[in-house]
Chains A and B, each alone.
Chain A
Amino acid sequence: MDKKSVSDKKTRQAKWDEPLLFERSIPGVMAHQVPIAEEKIRKEIGSLDSLIPEAMRRKGYPNLPEVSELQVVRHFTRLSQMNFSVSLGTYPLGSCTMKYNPIINEAVSSHPGFAWLHPNQDVRHAQGALELLWELEHWLAEITGMDAVTLQPAAGAQGEFTGVMVMREYHRCVTEECEQRNEMLIPDAAHGTNPASAAMAGYKVIVIPSSDEGLVDLEALKESAGPNTAGLMLTNPNTIGVFEKDIAEIAGIVHESGGLLYYDGANFNAIMGVVRPGDMGFDVVHLNLHKTMSTPHGGGGPGSGPVGVKKELAEFLPVPRIVKDEDGFFNLDYDFPRSIGKVKGFFGNFGMLVRAYSYIYSLGYQGLKRASEVAVLNANYIAYHVSRIRGFSLPYSQDAPRMHECVISAEKMKEDTGITAMDVAKRLLDFGIHSPTVYFPLIVPEALMIEPTETESRQDLDRLISAFQAISDEAYSNPEHVKGAPKSTALRQLDEYRAAHPKTLTLSWKMYQENKDE
Chain B
Amino acid sequence: MEWKHPWLPITHETQTDMLKTISREKLEDLFCNIPDEFRLKRDLDLPPSHSEYEVAKRLQYLASINRSADDGRVFLGTGAYPHYIPKIVPALAGRSEFVTSYTSYQPEISQGMLQTLFEYQSMLAEVLQIEVVNSSMYDMATALGEAARMTVRVKKGRTRFLVPGTINTEYFQVLQTYTEPADIQIQKIDYDTKTGLMDLNDLNAQLGDDVAGVYVENPSYLGFIESQVDEINEIVHSAGSLLVAGVDILSLGILRPPGTYGADIVISEGQPLGSPISYGGPLLGIFGCRMDRKLVYQMPGRLVGLTRTEEEPHEQGYVLTLSPREQHIRREKATSNICSNQALAAVTAAVYLSTIGPKGLHELAQTIAYKSNYASRVINEIPGVSSPAIGNSIWREFVVRFSEGSTAYDIHEGLIKNNLHGGQILTGVYPELGESMLFCVTELHDLQTIDVLVETLTEITEGGA
Contact A351 B321 (CB under 8 A): no
Contact A125 B306 (CB under 8 A): no
In whole angstroms, what is the CA distance A507 to B289 when docked? 11
A323 at interface by CB-CB < 8 Å: no
Contact B369 A48 (CB under 8 A): yes
Q: Which residues 249-305 in A have Cβ within 8 Å of B in the complex?
A: 271-276, 279-280, 288, 290, 294, 296-303
What's the least CB distance linking A367 to chain B, in Å? 5
B9 at interface by CB-CB < 8 Å: yes
What's the least CB distance linking A323 to chain B, in Å? 17
Given that A55-B256, A85-B98, A381-B21 are contacting pairs, would A69 and B76 also be in contact in the complex, using a CB cutoff of 8 Å? no
Contact B79 A345 (CB under 8 A): yes
Closest to A428 in B: B106
Q: Which residues 42-92 in B have Cβ within 8 Å of A in the complex?
A: 43-50, 52, 55-56, 58-70, 74, 76, 78-80, 82, 84, 86, 88, 90-92
In whole angstroms, what is the CA distance A33 to B230 when docked? 34
Q: Which residues 152-192 in A have Cβ within 8 Å of B in the complex?
A: 154-158, 160-161, 165, 168, 191-192
A76 at interface by CB-CB < 8 Å: yes
In whole angstroms, what is the CA distance A108 to B56 when docked? 7
In whole angstroms, what is the CA distance A348 to B122 when docked? 27
Question: Of B322, B362, B446, which contacts A61 at CB under 8 A?
Answer: B362
Given that A72-B354, A115-B278, A491-B107 are contacting pairs, would A345 and B170 also be in contact in the complex, using a CB cutoff of 8 Å? yes
In whole angstroms, what is the CA distance A72 to B116 when docked? 12
B173 at interface by CB-CB < 8 Å: yes
Given that A1-B21, A83-B113, A342-B174 are contacting pairs, would A107 and B56 also be in contact in the complex, using a CB cutoff of 8 Å? yes
Contact A509 B101 (CB under 8 A): no
A88 at interface by CB-CB < 8 Å: yes
Contact B10 A117 (CB under 8 A): no
B318 CB contacts on chain A under 8 angstroms: 494
Contact B136 A371 (CB under 8 A): no
Stretch at the interface among A18-26, A219-227, A469-477: A18-26
A242 at interface by CB-CB < 8 Å: yes
In whole angstroms, what is the CA distance A267 to B34 when docked? 14
A329 at interface by CB-CB < 8 Å: no
B358 CB contacts on chain A under 8 angstroms: 61-64, 66
Category for how many chain A residues contact B: 35 or more
Contact B315 A491 (CB under 8 A): yes
Q: Which residues 464-518 in A have Cβ within 8 Å of B in the complex?
A: 486, 489-496, 498-500, 502, 504-512, 514
Given that A45-B373, A83-B98, A381-B21 are contacting pairs, would A365 and B45 also be in contact in the complex, using a CB cutoff of 8 Å? yes
Contact A303 B374 (CB under 8 A): no
A311 at interface by CB-CB < 8 Å: no
Contact B282 A113 (CB under 8 A): no
What's the least CB distance linking A421 to chain B, in Å? 13
Given that A66-B357, A143-B46, A158-B138 are contacting pairs, would A510 and B279 also be in contact in the complex, using a CB cutoff of 8 Å? no
Closest to A509 in B: B122
Contact B33 A114 (CB under 8 A): no
Contact A192 B334 (CB under 8 A): yes
Interface string of B122-144 (1 = CB under 8 A from A): 11011101011101101111100
Contact A38 B44 (CB under 8 A): no
Closest to B451 in A: A40
Q: Which residues 363-384 in B have Cβ within 8 Å of A in the complex?
A: 363-364, 366-367, 369-371, 373-374, 377
Q: Which residues 356-408 in B have Cβ within 8 Å of A in the complex?
A: 356-364, 366-367, 369-371, 373-374, 377, 392-393, 395
Question: Of A45, A86, A342, A351, which contacts B370 at CB under 8 A?
Answer: A45
The 8 A-B residue pairs with the shortest CB-CB distance, nearest first, are A346-B280, A113-B63, A298-B344, A119-B280, A83-B112, A364-B49, A300-B343, A202-B181
Known A-B contacts: A369-B43, A498-B308. Give 13 more (CB < 8 A).
A32-B88, A38-B447, A82-B111, A85-B96, A108-B59, A120-B76, A276-B40, A297-B101, A362-B52, A381-B18, A499-B305, A499-B321, A509-B119
